[in-house]
Amino acid sequence: MTLPTEHRSLVVVITETALEQTLLRDFDRLAVRGYTVSDARGKGTHGVRDAAWDEAANIRIEVICSRDQAESLLQHLQTHYYADFAMVAFLQDVEVVRPDKF
C-alpha cells in the first residue's frame, strides 16, 4: 500500500526554558500555525542542563512547516538567539498526510 504523503520540514529547537514565552511569541509573529513544546534535559557547551529546577531546564519545540518557512525560522533563531543562549536548532525532512494542515 502506498499512502499519498507530502514532504514538509520539521524544525526542532532545543533551548533554555527561560526563552519559551519569547520564542512562542516570535513564532506567532512569523505565522507558525502550530507547534509542540516538551520539557527536555541534556548536556552541551553550556554544561549539564538537568532540569532539576527552572534555571537549568530545557525545552524542545517542534514545528512542521514548509521548507521556506523552516529556513526563515532557523535564520531568525540564528540572528537573535544563538550568540547568547544555550540553543540547538535543526531541520529535517518529514512526510505528512493532510498537507494543507502544515
Which residues of this chain interact with other proteins, rule CB under 8 A? 16, 18-19, 22, 47-48, 51-57, 81, 83-85
Of 11 and 19, CB closest to other proteins: 19
Shortest Cβ 77–other proteins spacing (Å)? 13
Q: Is the Cβ of residue 28 or residue 93 nearer to other proteins in the bound state?
A: 28
Q: H or E stretch including 67?
A: helix 67-80
CB of 55 to other proteins, least distance (A): 5
Exposure pattern of 68-78 as b/e (b: 16+ CB <10 Å)?
ebbeebbebbe
Which residue carries 507530502 as its cell?
Answer: 6
Return the amino acid letter for 79. Answer: T
Nearer to other proteins, 30 or 48 (CB): 48
List the beta bridge partners of residue 1. none
